[in-house]
Each structure stands twice: as C-alpha cells, then as structure tokens.
C-alpha cells in the first residue's frame, strides 16, 4: 500500500481531510513512492490560527533563548545529515553528494540565525534635542509563510524558516508537492530542538494552499522560490493583500569565457555548474559565452568528451555525476527544448535524449546535452530550461558579452573566467545581475551575506537570508522620548527642529 503523507501542525503530524491527493515519485524508478495531500483552504486557516496563537508566546521569548533552539537544530541536522540527504535523493533524484551539500548550505543559515541576539540589536542616539533621546529596534511581523520549489527540498526551507523564527515570527511551510517529505522531517527536528508547538508548521498542497495563504488576513509575509510567472503572480496578489513578499523567480545564468581563461579550470567549473543536479538549479550555468576568435572552438572541443562521459544513474548509487530529472513531465519539457533547439538551427553536439539506465529503464533520465552556435533570438537561449542543457554563444568582445547578458530578462547570477583583473573588474561593475562570480561558477553567497537576483529573477525589495533576511522578517520601530523637566512652556505649532 502506498503511504499517505500528513501535514505537521501544532507540533505533531496531522491527517488531512482532503479528497485530492498527489503522487510523489521515486524519479530514478519512475514509480509512485507515496501520496501527498492537496490540503484545503480550511486546513490552511486552521494552521494559521495555530501559528497566530503560538506567535504571542514565541515573539516574547528572549532572542537568546531563540538562539539556543537554533544551536540545537544545527546539532540535530549535523547528526541526521545522511538521513536528510537520502530523503532529498529519494524524491528529487539528485546524487547523494549533491544532496548532502544542499543540506549543509541550508544548515549554514541556521548557524547564521543562531546569532540573532546580535542581528536584532538596534541603534540609540542620546540627546537628539534638548532632553530628547531616540532609539530604534526591530520587531517580528507575525505569521509568515514559505512556498518552496522542487529542486532544493532541504536548502530552501532552511533559507526561509530559521531567519523568520529566530526573529520571533511563526511559520507555515508549503513545500513543493513533488518533494514534501523533507519539510515534514525538518518539522520533527524543530520540535526535538525545543521549538514550541505551532511555531513551525507544514501544510502540503498545490495552488489552493498558496491562494489560501495569500488571501488569509493573518499571514503577514510570504517568501517564495519558483518560476518567474509564479513569482510575479504571487508578488502582485500578495502585495495587493497588504503582505510583505520576497519572490525569487527564474534564471538564465551566463559564464563569460575570456580568451585568457585557464581552459582546464574553466571546463571543470562549467561541467559542474551546467550539469550538477541535472541542471535543476536556479544558479546553474546554462549559457557559456565564448569571447574572441578561437575561444569557442577550444571550449567545445574540451566539453564534448566530458559531456559524453557523464556518469548518470540513480542518485543513491556512488560515483555518479547526475541523477534523473524530478518527474516525467519535466523530462518531457526539457527534452522538448532540445527538440526545439535543433529546429531553431543550433548545432546539437551532444544529444542526451532517449537515455536508458540499466535497471532503471522507467526512470526520468536525460543525458547531458550541448548546443553550439546558439543565438540570442532562439527560445533555448531566451527561456529557462532547468535541465542538463548547455548552450554555447560566441561573441567577439567582452563588451558584446556584457551587452548580451544585460539584455536578458533574467538577472540572477553569472560568472567570468579570465586571467585579467581588468576584464574581471569591468564585468563586475557593468553587469546587471545580482550574484557575480570571478573564476567561481556558482556564486551562491554564504549565509551571512544575502541571496537574490535582479530583473525578472526577483520580485520584492529584500533578498534571502543574511542581513536582508533579517530586514524582511522584521519591522523597524523608532522611539523618540522626552521626560519633562520644569514648567511647561506652552504649545508649539511649528514643525519640531533642533535649536
């Protein structure tokens, strides 16, 4: 019998009353592993009420005590990292090393959140006017919600919830219905770490749950990672409803390869950045921009045998480079982009379509694909593919490369590989993207910095985690105070000024 998953509300697993259930697959086998509830709007309302009731006590908990929960959660994640990575691999498909790395990058945000007593320190100004002092501090928002993507079942919930909870908020996580189990396991670890019931909750489902979170008046903020159309739609509707929103969308990340780049180092970096996690990363490099005559030929000559040699199979097997894609529908979508690229006239140098893995013939596998002579007018260049497909574009100069990147509607991340400090400096100053790498292919900031893109890659004013995350999950309050001394001098109707 296929296992039916539950929600997690009020510190315990709870059954859903829904009549709608979604299949959760083992993508390496192409088989249904469990079913996830498509929770109802009423169940969302119940979870919000529980979280609202928990907010009063949690927001009044001293930040030092909140930090102790973070320390304990970090310790628990450390002890359970292999278990958590196995859950990621089982439902998403990525290889275990990559899954462990994603858990670790999420845990780093927990470590950052453990410093919340320092992060919430305000400012104080004595004597801003005669007998007047002024100070500011940050306070939590209330009930916050997170909407997660399928590609990072551990990392993204850990980028959202620890900052929100450390700041004194309560939280409702809506994981992707494709990969729900990791959030449920994290909920158990939160409780084990000493978090009071109702502070962290998990409600699984689809658009009905997201809509209910947007429409509920007691949800103060929504943090989302997803495609650009979804991110923009949620941002517009939730801000109209008076909520604070950070909505991270799609990407088309470029790597600029200069003629003076170390080719061996560049190809190593590009292979991991383009094909790691089967390309299902918002920070994956999906476009290599070869600058100058001869650079493109040298690059593709080095890439072709490496792409053909990718080791692909079930993610729980050792020594592999890539696992399957997450669902059959996504496999068909990515394969369709490869079909389209051929029709558009790009040269398909390595074709990964039709890959069958012995023993996993029904798995959702696609081999690495490599296109050359891609142009900016092609849809395989313009649109996010989100799979193991790398496009090589050739341009004559660095200036042309920068113009190419800046003209794209996405501005998430990108990199330049070069031996020239001058070229690197020009790129970092002129490029219109949020996260920049210099000889670093996937420039994901550490937890004590903040993560986010520009243009169609981010909707909202705040990036994720780091100082921006603290600002997103709190409101600033400024107090101006005077204690009267002596007799009143009468009413003043002028704008107050310092004399």
**Nearest 5°: CA angle at 483, between 482 and 484?**
105
Structure tokens belonging to residue 197? 């019931």
d(C-alpha 157, C-alpha 392), whole Å? 33
Contact (CB, 8 A) for 109 and 447? yes
- The 10 Å Cβ neighbour count of residue 464 is 23
Contact 112, 448 (CB under 8 A): yes
The dihedral through the CA atoms of 29, 30, 34, 36 has a sign that is: positive
CA distance to 10, 76, 88, 194, per residue, from 444 (Å): 34, 24, 20, 30
Contact 253, 411 (CB under 8 A): no
CA–CA dist 434, 458 (Å, integer):
9
CB 393 within 8 A of CB 376: yes
For residue 412, the Cα-to-chain-centroid distance in whole angstroms is 11
State the helix-helix crossing angle for 155-166 and 63-79, rounded to 10 degrees: 160
Joined together, the tokens standing for residue 62 give 């001293």
CA distances from 486 to 131, 483, 489, 490, 491 (A): 11, 10, 9, 12, 15
- Give me the residues paired with residue 242 across strands: none
3-state secondary structure of 37: strand
User: What is the rounded distance in angstroms from the CA atom of residue 71 to the CA atom of residue 186?
Assistant: 14
Tell me the two tokens of residue 232: 């923009």
Dihedral over alpha carbons 236, 238, 240, 246 (to 10 degrees)? -70
Quote the DSSP letter at residue 277. G
Task: Give first-to-last CA distance, the chain, whole Å.
Answer: 79
User: Could you list the active site residues?
Assistant: 282
Closest CA to 199 of 207, 190, 208: 190
């Amino acid at each position: 019998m296929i296992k039916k998953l539950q929600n997690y509300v009020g510190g315990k697993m709870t059954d859903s009353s829904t009549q709608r259930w979604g299949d959760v697959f083992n993508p390496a086998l192409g088989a249904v592993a469990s079913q996830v509830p498509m929770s109802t709007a009423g169940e969302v309302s119940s979870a919000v009420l529980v979280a609202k009731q928990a907010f009063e006590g949690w927001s009044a908990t001293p930040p030092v005590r909140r930090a102790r929960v973070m320390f304990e959660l970090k310790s628990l994640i450390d002890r359970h990292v292999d278990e958590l990575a196995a859950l990621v691999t089982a439902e998403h498909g990525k290889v275990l090393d990559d899954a462990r790395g994603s858990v670790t990058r999420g845990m780093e945000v927990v470590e950052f959140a453990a410093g919340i007593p320092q992060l919430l320190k305000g400012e104080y100004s004595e004597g801003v006017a005669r007998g007047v002092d002024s100070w500011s501090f940050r306070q939590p928002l209330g009930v916050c919600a997170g909407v997660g993507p399928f590609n990072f079942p551990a990392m993204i919930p850990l980028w959202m919830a620890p900052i929100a909870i450390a700041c004194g908020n309560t939280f409702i996580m809506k994981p992707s219905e494709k990969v729900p189990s990791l959030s449920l396991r994290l909920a158990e670890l939160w409780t084990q770490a000493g978090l009071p019931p109702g502070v962290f909750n998990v409600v699984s489902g689809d658009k009905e749950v997201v809509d209910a979170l947007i429409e509920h008046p007691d949800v103060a903020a929504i943090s989302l990672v997803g495609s650009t159309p979804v991110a923009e739609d949620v941002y517009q509707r939730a801000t109209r409803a008076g909520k604070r929103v950070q909505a991270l969308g799609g990407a088309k990340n470029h790597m600029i390869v200069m003629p003076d780049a170390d080719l061996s180092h560049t190809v190593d970096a590009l292979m991991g950045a383009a094909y790691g996690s089967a390309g299902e990363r918002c920070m994956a490099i999906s476009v290599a921009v070869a600058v100058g005559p001869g650079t493109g030929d040298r690059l593709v000559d080095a890439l072709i045998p490496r792409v053909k040699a990718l080791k692909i199979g079930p993610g729980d097997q050792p020594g592999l480079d890539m696992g399957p894609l997450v669902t059959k529908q996504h496999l068909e979508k990515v394969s369709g982009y490869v079909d389209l690229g051929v029709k558009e006239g790009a040269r398909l140098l390595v074709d990964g379509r039709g890959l069958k893995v012995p023993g996993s013939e029904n798995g959702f596998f696609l081999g690495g694909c490599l296109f050359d002579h891609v142009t900016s007018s092609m849809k395989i260049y313009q649109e996010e593919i989100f799979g193991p497909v790398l496009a090589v574009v050739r341009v004559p100069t660095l200036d042309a490369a920068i113009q190419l990147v800046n003209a794209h509607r996405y501005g998430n991340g990108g990199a330049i590989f070069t031996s020239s400090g001058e070229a690197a400096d020009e790129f970092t100053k002129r490029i219109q993207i949020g996260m920049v790498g210099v000889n670093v292919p996937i420039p994901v900031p550490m937890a004590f910095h903040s993560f986010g893109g520009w243009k169609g890659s981010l909707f909202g004013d705040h990036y994720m985690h780091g100082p921006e995350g603290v600002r997103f999950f709190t409101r600033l309050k400024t107090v101006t105070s005077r204690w009267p001394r002596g007799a009143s001098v009468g009413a003043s109707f002028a704008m107050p000024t310092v004399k």
